Chains A and B, each alone.
Chain A
């Protein structure tokens, strides 16, 4: 069970931050500003929040929840999603919340969060910036998604993959931008998308789908090597 506490120097003055240690998951939420970096190595898609049914964007790093990411950070060209970097930290209104039970926090190891005068350390300031980016990024991404929904540009993504060990995987619950619908848009809507920077995001998503095949090939090669 997570133990959430609002971050403050009185309570957390001696707390230290360790590097992330959890393996990268098979899917991670990302924000619009990360699309160019993510799309170079991973499929960028939409999926639905199971509680609200609303769309959010994410990068596919692997094909099964039980398997870790198929590419390392280096193989992704250094792309490390903000949502992974911020492990242990959350935002609630104006405050930063930490999960005190996250393995990132220690009394003895890692970088201090606060200096002697109870001011945020370099590493905490970096985290604050990162959380700010994430927060702003979520708003920008939601604006992008709302426009796509309004213009009926989102379509379900049907992917079936067959692997050499006989396993067939169907990726369910993923959505992408419909290029057919995009290309059928009237001029004023197209211009609106372009001016808002949304057209580029749409094409980045569509183009990133080629990464599905690359990832599948990678997984297949590992399977045959494992035999």
Chain B
């Protein structure tokens, strides 16, 4: 476990505005956050709360309209292609839809070889590369021998998502951003994927940022929870603080609307 309180990603007044004039939409509105190394953070919000826009800004896929992001306490610089490539060595993502996350023309071993190349292993002997790929596949309980000659669409959704984790295992980024990684997968495979992510975290000590609408999932996995509503962060704190004793009405409503099994689910409040 790396020492606590080491800021790895910090945002100050992060804002994203789409359109202008009458069509102006403030998707993310002056958001401040401070993510520490080795933490698991969840950003929870309903559809349209701006959580995916925030994720895209963190990844450097869109530029913020206003505000700054600090990576390792230094202002993030992704002005050139090379700098972006360097930044992406430190931050990687798993997206919601595994079916559209792969290049459909590349076989699966090419996907994994690409990761080895990104880590500077392009000149390794073939045997060594295969060994690395095998290790990554066995980490997520996939059989490398069965995968090599397959295309991504020949796998099931859960397997694809696990292959994504195998990629992350090879890349070993400092930060992993998981944007709804389990929302298209049924409850049973969800447990497998969460298990593997947690195992990856213990092995590499990476920071994981979960973006999710599932407040139950957020409570289960994370150390810190941020609740987003209409582009603003309305409540944040440790998982126990936010979920077990929420202060904001929005958080209370979200919690109230999730089906429970031990407490009575109050249906009268809709």
Instruction: Answer yes or no: are A and B bound together in one complex.
Output: no
